[in-house]
Structure 1
Amino acid sequence: MTEAISADRQLSALRDLASRELSQGILPFWEAHAFAEDGSLRGGVSDDLDYLDDLPRHAVLAARILWTFSAAAEAVPADRERHLATARRALAQLTGPMWDPQAGGVFWSIDAQGAVIDDRKQIYAQAFTVYALACWARVTGDEDALERALWLAGTLDSEARDREYGGYVEARARDWTPTDRTALSELDPDVPKSMNTNLHVLEALTELLRASADLAAREALETLLRTTLDCIVVEAPFAHCALYFDEAWDRCSDGVSYGHDIETSWLLWDAWEALTAHGVDDADLEWRTREASLALAEAVRLHGVDGDGAVLYAGTADGPTDRDRHWWPQAEGVVGWLNAFQLGGRAEDRRAAIRAWDFIEQHVVDRAHGEWHARLDASNRPLAGGTGDLKMGPWKCPYHNARACLEVLRRIEP
């Protein structure tokens, strides 16, 4: 395990701010607003706290809430029972109306009454379900949840893993048969594979291995880590992750997602640490993972950060093309650069992590209504009007920002 960072004045201040934001900002917001009085998940919450109960309820959101409050219960013992109570609400949704009683796995979305809207088995949603169930099981000792997580991971292995070219496909139909409807969102193309889906399968297998020490999870994780390094991480003209692929990993786009790159930088190393803790000893794989982690963190720092410290949204090899500031890349920047500083000792990474948190404090945290603004324009003005601009919605969740706070607490010594 990478050693925690000895805290100086600036890092101690960062740790204190992250602790306060987690306990007084992010978690209380979701406790208050995520669920209706009957325990059902709300469809959405606007920036000014209007409830949007006509929106679909997505399994990804339920899984991310379950993971967040399970992890918080473990990290903050004084509030354990309170956080577990919120986690149980999310668990009830994920394993209740969102779970397919016929073929297993979770539906993509349901309506306010629990009726299925979209029954496809998007692998991204299944991965987050494994991730959340594994964390809940590890924290609470819930053997039924762990068994469900292991079953679902095994189903992904048998139905969505590409044994010829490696990695995992984007989607299956409800019965786990192939489907042409693979796009994760309206902004994504219908392609056989993406870095986003495979990144979060990697993340899920990492959590599952820690919860279970399962040999099949270890093999799948090690294989996917190698595939990610071989097929997804690109070295030229600077380190980044290619985004979309055909079945044989030929690239279908030339875009760069700075947020995904900095997130990948630390999730790669997190996967390696889980593997080595469970018996994997491979000096070459360790070296490759370390070098990719450091290269991705450096590349985002050099190519994907604006003058005010914001992590930009998207670009190409020629430079940024979308200068909006989405909430989640800012959170991932803090963790990614702290991880890079732990690995490489580069002062530039330490400064970048502190600067990223300073930007969050100054511009992203919503002091009026709580939580974080979903998206800012290039002048740091909050944007509204789209589903992606909600305080809570299909893509706006407590997972990135709460996890950033938890990682700060874990990585910086008190």
Structure 2
Amino acid sequence: MTAYDPARPPAPRHQFNTAEHRDWLRADARRQFAFFKASSRSRDGYHLLDHDGQPLKTDVQELHTTTRLVHSYALGKLAGVPGCEAIIDHGMAYLWGHHRDCDHGGYLWALNGPKVTNGRKLAYGHVFVLLAGASAKLAGHSDADRLLDDVTAILERHYWKDDAGLFADEWARDWSPFSTYRGMNANMHGVEALLTAYEATGRERYRQQAGRILDFFVGKIAPLENWRLPEHYTGDWQVDRDYAGNPMFRPAGTTPGHSFELARLLLQYWDLSGRPDDASRDAAWTLTEQALTDAWDQQKGGLFYTLDFDGSPAICDRYWWPVTEAIGVLASFLKLGGSSAQRDWYARLWQFADEHFMDHDRGGWYPEIDSQGQPTATQFMGKPDIYHSVQASLFPLIPTLSRMTDHLPGLLRD
């Protein structure tokens, strides 16, 4: 690993839309798809992989892992990567035959063989089922429609709150009340899934719901919170400043990586809505710029995981996924012409990822680094998924802000 040096100019392979950069991105995407093919196993579900691509010793199958692999390999199939169909088939069968709760409806969070190890019904998991179904449909999978229709009905019946224009978060397995917690994360990924479902089906309902979620977080909450997005809310959608759940999955305060994701999704929604003459572009950049300014570690590089409400660092650990999401939204702005500052940020983030997160020898990205910038394993075992990192490599190769799958065919074909 190379020590972070803020004065070192980025290499040509980190510069947006150069031929060298595009070739470099394609090579990384191919390495990632090749590495994660080892996720398939002969029995039900998927393997989780260590840094070398060997299966970890666990049989636990979690809903977000299954759905993200289906989504990612649907992109790979469209891009011309050989062998993706078997992974998609495996995941679609497991979603329908195992995660789907035949007793109560909906989708179970975690299984170990035939045993349900966590039967909670989380909006976060269900919107990823919607994403998997939509991506599988775009890739031409024969079972995509039944999955899409089933999970859409579940989301409408149990999660969507039309008075607020937002998704509620969680239920017990039998749909009895579990908590009054409300969160941004499930809704943000809900926008991602709804926009993909809109692109796959043309159903206006999906686009409208995505717009209402964006209106709440970007139109209402962000300006009141100095463009830092609180993660946690009460049952009546008031910011819950005292909430502190799981420090990895529901940390207190704000998570700048989610600002990047939501900003990119706002631009995708704006594009799908005909690019109206409104404040979407400015709002997306304000969100992005605030998160970059607050979260970038000036001494060591990388992005702090969480911030307090005043923008000061809270959890200073540095993970791969906020970097990938910042790359995605900056690529969006550069597709619109961009600025020199946006171009510099884009190259700086790729330089840091290249030197600290990307595994050029084996494929995949290391999920976390220590204080010296070396791969470590405190929160994550192995390489947890392909989802964030492969999209960071694919999205800058696509000329548009939306309908990415229209431009994937043949992109990674040798």
Quickly name the TM-score band, shorter chain normalised.
0.7 to 0.9
Match of 2:197 in 1: 208
Asked if 1:320 corresponds to 2:313, the answer is: yes
Whichever residue aligns with residue 218 of structure 2, its letter is: L
Asked if 1:197 corresponds to 2:197, the answer is: no
Deviations 1:223-259 (A, max 9, x none): 222223244434543x221110012221113722111
Instruction: Decide which moves more: 225-234 or 246-255.
Output: 225-234
Verify the 8 A CA contact 1:71 1:139 in the aligned structure 2: yes
Match of 1:266 in 2: 264
Whichever residue aligns with residue 178 of structure 2, its letter is: T
Asked if 1:290 corresponds to 2:281, the answer is: yes
Match of 1:303 in 2: 294
Q: Indicate which of 59, 71, 74 corresponds to 1:70.
A: 74
Whichever residue aligns with residue 301 of structure 1, its letter is: L
Verify the 8 A CA contact 1:265 1:293 in the aligned structure 2: yes
1:34-113 alignment runs, 5 A limit: 34-38=39-43, 40-42=45-47, 44-74=48-78, 76-77=79-80, 79=81, 81-111=82-112, 113=113
Asked if 1:334 corresponds to 2:343, the answer is: no
The two structures, once aligned, show a CA RMSD in angstroms of 2.5
Count of aligned residue pairs for this structure pair: 377
Looking at structure 2, the residues matched to 172 and 118 of structure 1 have their Cα atoms a distance apart, in angstroms, of: 12
Looking at structure 2, the residues matched to 35 and 53 of structure 1 have their Cα atoms a distance apart, in angstroms, of: 14
Per the TM alignment, residue 356 of structure 1 is displaced from its structure 2 partner at its CA by 0.7
Match of 2:33 in 1: 27
Verify the 8 A CA contact 1:311 1:329 in the aligned structure 2: yes
1:240-251 alignment runs, 5 A limit: 240-251=228-239
Whichever residue aligns with residue 91 of structure 2, its letter is: A
Deviations 1:71-102 (A, max 9, x none): 1211x23x2x5222222222122122111123
Asked if 1:15 corresponds to 2:22, the answer is: yes
Flag structure 1 segments of 5+ consecutive residues without an equivalent: 1-6, 181-190
Looking at structure 2, the residues matched to 157 and 373 of structure 1 have their Cα atoms a distance apart, in angstroms, of: 37
Looking at structure 1, the residues matched to 176 and 208 of structure 2 have their Cα atoms a distance apart, in angstroms, of: 24
Asked if 1:379 corresponds to 2:372, the answer is: yes
Match of 2:10 in 1: none
Looking at structure 1, the residues matched to 16 and 338 of structure 2 have their Cα atoms a distance apart, in angstroms, of: 16
1:342-381 alignment runs, 5 A limit: 342-343=335-336, 345-367=338-360, 369-381=362-374
Deviations 1:339-398 (A, max 9, x none): 1333462211111111111111111113454321111123212222x4x32224xxx211
Per the TM alignment, residue 133 of structure 1 is displaced from its structure 2 partner at its CA by 0.6
Q: TM-score, normalised by structure 2?
A: 0.84
Structure 2 residue matching 1:52: 3-state secondary structure: coil
Whichever residue aligns with residue 312 of structure 1, its letter is: F
Verify the 8 A CA contact 1:107 1:119 in the aligned structure 2: yes
Looking at structure 2, the residues matched to 257 and 352 of structure 1 have their Cα atoms a distance apart, in angstroms, of: 19
Structure 1 residue matching 2:174: 3-state secondary structure: coil
Match of 2:133 in 1: 133
Instruction: Decide which moves more: 167-176 or 58-67.
Output: 167-176
Per the TM alignment, residue 137 of structure 1 is displaced from its structure 2 partner at its CA by 0.8
Verify the 8 A CA contact 2:109 2:122 in the aligned structure 1: yes
Whichever residue aligns with residue 242 of structure 1, its letter is: P
Verify the 8 A CA contact 1:209 1:274 in the aligned structure 2: no
Looking at structure 1, the residues matched to 319 and 165 of structure 2 have their Cα atoms a distance apart, in angstroms, of: 31
Looking at structure 2, the residues matched to 8 and 362 of structure 1 have their Cα atoms a distance apart, in angstroms, of: 11
Whichever residue aligns with residue 387 of structure 2, its letter is: Y
Looking at structure 2, the residues matched to 353 and 120 of structure 1 have their Cα atoms a distance apart, in angstroms, of: 38
Structure 2 residue matching 1:380: 3-state secondary structure: coil
Looking at structure 2, the residues matched to 147 and 217 of structure 1 have their Cα atoms a distance apart, in angstroms, of: 17
Structure 2 residue matching 1:116: 3-state secondary structure: strand
Following TM superposition, where does structure 1 have runs of at least 4 consecutive aligned residues deviating by more than 4 angstroms? Answer: 7-10
Taking every aligned residue pair, what percent have the same amino acid on both sides?
Answer: 22
Per the TM alignment, residue 147 of structure 1 is displaced from its structure 2 partner at its CA by 3.4
Instruction: Decide which moves more: 318-327 or 228-237.
Output: 228-237
Whichever residue aligns with residue 348 of structure 1, its letter is: A
Structure 2 residue matching 1:140: 3-state secondary structure: coil
Whichever residue aligns with residue 398 of structure 1, its letter is: I
